[in-house]
Structure formats: structure tokens, C-alpha cells
Amino acid sequence: MKTSMKYLGLFVIAVLSVVVSFGVVSAQTDVTICFGFQDLETEFWVAGHRAITETLRGQGIEVLEYNANEDPNRQLEQIRECIAQGVDGIIIIPQDGDSANTIVAEAQENDVPIAVFNRPPNDRSAGVIVVADNVSATEQAVEFIAQKALRQFEITGEAVTPLILVGALQDTNAIGRRDGFFNVITRYNERYPGLFNEPIEVATEWDAATALANLEAAITANPNVDFIFTSSDFLFPTIRSVLEPRGMWVPMGQPGHVLLAGLDGDATACQLIDQGYVDATGVQNLFLEAELTMNRLLQAIEAGETAPNEVLLDPGFALTAGNIFFQRSDMWGCVLYDDGFLDQ
């Protein structure tokens, strides 16, 4: 027993020492920015995280990173901890638009300037909010598909059945993308009656497993779907796993091709446009957004502004099979893809 007690004591001390000494941060600069993100569950957020941290550290700024693991309560605790540590500014990628309001208010009440990256609070009047114009980017991508559908309709006279994979609707990005999709469908149906059938909506909750189950059910019930729009490119592999066994995963130019479009502009979308399976994707200009976030926050810190309030819009653009040759380098996903991101 004595021996086991000794080992136990040594073990406890060793665990404590290892835990606290692992990863000690030593860098010290004049400006410290707290970067709290909800998680890095998709390529888009990984790339966004990389763009922000590299941009900040490139300027010699100390970055304190906090991952909330998709828990808004945890994120609130982490931001409070950042405030307690006396950071100069805060950048967050919130879990949802509602909790973002509370977190922005918490920072501003404590006189710390805060910027919200890409996932805006429902109330956009507080904080520096950098956001892609989801409606515009989606409209650009869906417009490209609508033109293709129109040509098909003029030849065959058969209405096109569209399907949209909807994101979690507590996220304003998901709402904007759904709105952009329906704007185009409605507009084209008004101009060309009978072009599109009633769109099928499939809930994903931004979760691949949920998307898979719901898409399987929707395609089984409606095997004549001609056009699928995914509210985020990270679901293309899910779409493929549903379409391929049914013989519907066919590249453009061949009979049976299902028109495919998405939004985000990730590496997988770039690869699939290259291969001819995906027709278009709405691209968020991630590099521009990271730069806008950092510049506005640093400007506020320098000017002593504790509660800067401004919405900075990234208009986005559509990368299509038609323009990929010219605009490839503007899409963050193609940059990652060309760097071998998908081979890692």
C-alpha cells in the first residue's frame, strides 16, 4: 500500500506539472487580441481561422485563441475571461446570431471593442460586423443555374424540380442563403411561368448526418429532382453519397446531370467544378473579410474607440464552370485546393 501511495502522489504531481506547463504562452506585444470561435467544423471555418490568426500574428499582435466547442455559454465565459485578462480587442465567430448579441453587449459594457466575423448577430447595430452578403452571393450562383435550367426548359418544355439544403435557421447566414435561393426561383417563375416546380426544402441543421438522412428521404420521395442547391459547400460529399448509388452523380454535358450549386467556395467545391460535377458556387471573399475585420478593430484600438459599431459587407461572387479559369485565384477554396489541401 505504501508503494502504491508513493506512486499515486508522484502521479498526481506529475499530472499537475505536465498539464500546467504544456503550452505556456510567452509572446508579448503591445496589442493583444482575443479570438473566440465556435468551432472549426468545416473547411470554411478552418480557412477563416487561419486567415485571421495569420493576418494578426503577421503584424506582431498577440492572439489569445479560445474554442467554445459549439457551446454559446462556454463562449460567453471565454469572452469574459478575455476581458478579465485585459485584452485590447476581441474577434468572435459566434455559435449563433442570438448569443452573439449578448456577447457583443458584454464586451462593449466592459469597454472592449469587438468585431464579429462572418456570422452576424441578429441585431446588427452593435459591434464591428464583417459579413458576406449571403443573399447576393447566393443569387449570383443560383442565377447561373437558372439560366441553364431555362435553356433546358426551352428545349424539353419540362419544369425543373429544385431542392435546397437549408442550414440551421438560427444562423442568419442560413436565412440569407435561403432567401437568395427563393428570390431567384420566384423571379424566374414570374418571368417564365412553369419553369420551376415548388422547391423541396431539406433541413440540415449544418450537420452532415442530419443532411444525409433528410436528403436520402427527400430523393427517395422525389427521384425526379433536377437541381440541388446546398447552403454550404461542405455538404457536397453528402450529396454525392446520396446521388451516386442512384446513378444521378453525373458530370455536366452527359445525360442525367443534376444541376448542382452551393455557397462558401471551399476546396471541395473547387475540385468538383474542375471535374464538372458542380456547376456553380457562391464565394465568400474570406481574405477580404479577414482584412476588413483586423483593420477596423486595430483602427478602433488605436483611436481608443471602445464600442465601434459598423457593418462591413463582402459582396461575394459566383464561381462557375464558365469563369473558373479567370477567377480561380480569387476563391479561397481554389487557393487551398491548389496548395494540396485535400491531399493532406
Partner 1 sequence: MAIVQDKLSPDSAFALTNKAKRSDRFSGGIGMLRRLLVSDYFVLYLTLLFFLVASIFYPTLSNPASITNQIQNFWPLLAVAIGQTFVLIIGGIDLSVIAVMGITSVAGALVMAENLDPAFFDKSPVWGSLMTEAGGVLAGNPLAVPAAVLTMLLIGTFIGWLNGVAITRFNLAPFMVTLVTSTFFAALALWLTQSRNISGIPEAYVTLGKGDIVSIYLGAKLTPDIARRDILPFITYPFMIAAGLAVVAQFLLSRTVFGRRMFSIGTNRKAAEVSGVPTQSVIIRVYMFCGFCAAMASVLYSGRLEIGQPSFPNNLLLDIIGAAVIGGTSLFGGKGSIRGTFFGVAFFVLLLNILNAMRLSPFIIDAVKGAFILVAALLDIIRTRVANQEQRV
Q: How many CB atoms lie within 10 A of CB 252?
A: 16
Considering only residues 34, 175, 242, 269, which one is a binding residue for partner 1 as defined by CB under 8 A?
Answer: 175
Considering beta carbons, is residue 21 or 329 the nearer one to partner 1?
A: 21
Q: Which is nearer to partner 1, 11 or 198 (CB)?
A: 11
**What nine digits make up the cell of 155?**
428545349
Give the range of 1-9, 189-197, 211-219, 282-290 binding partner 1 by CB under 8 A.
Answer: 1-9
| Choices 95-103, 225-233, 295-303, 335-343; region in contact with partner 1 by CB under 8 A | 95-103
DSSP 8-class letter at 197: P
Cα separation, 222 vs 52, in Å, equals 42
Only segment of 44-52, 99-107, 237-245, 287-295 that touches partner 1 (CB under 8 A): 99-107
Asked if 77 is part of the footprint of partner 1 (rule: CB under 8 A), the reply reads yes
Q: How many residues bind to partner 1 according to rule CB under 8 A?
A: 54
Contact indicator for 148, 279 with CB cutoff of 8 Å: yes
Q: At closest approach, how far in Å is the CB of 186 from partner 1? A: 16
Q: Does 205 bind partner 1 (CB under 8 A)?
A: yes
- Contact between 208 and partner 1 per CB under 8 A: no
* 319 vs 324: CA distance, rounded Å: 6
Residue 291 near partner 1 by CB under 8 A? no
Contact assessment for residue 163 and residue 228, using Cβ atoms and an 8 Å cutoff = yes
DSSP structure string for 252-285: TTSTTPPEEEEEE--HHHHHHHHHTS--EEEE--
CB atoms within 10 A of CB 299: 13
Site for partner 1 in 218-237 (CB under 8 A): none
Q: Which residues fall within 8 angstroms of residue 229, CB to CB, at 6 or more apart?
A: 138, 141, 142, 145, 162, 163, 164, 165, 181, 260, 261, 262
Q: By CB under 8 A, which span of 104-112, 128-136, 221-229, 290-298 interacts with partner 1?
A: 104-112
Rounded least distance, CB 244 to partner 1, Å: 29
| Whether the Cβ atoms of residue 114 and residue 98 lie closer than 8 Å to each other | no
71 binds partner 1 (CB under 8 A): yes
101 is an interface residue for partner 1 by CB under 8 A: yes
d(CA 270, CA 324): 9
Q: Which residues contact partner 1 (rule: CB under 8 A)? A: 1-2, 4-6, 8-9, 11-12, 15-17, 19-25, 39, 64-67, 69-74, 76-78, 80-81, 83-86, 96, 98-99, 101-102, 109-112, 122, 168-170, 175, 205
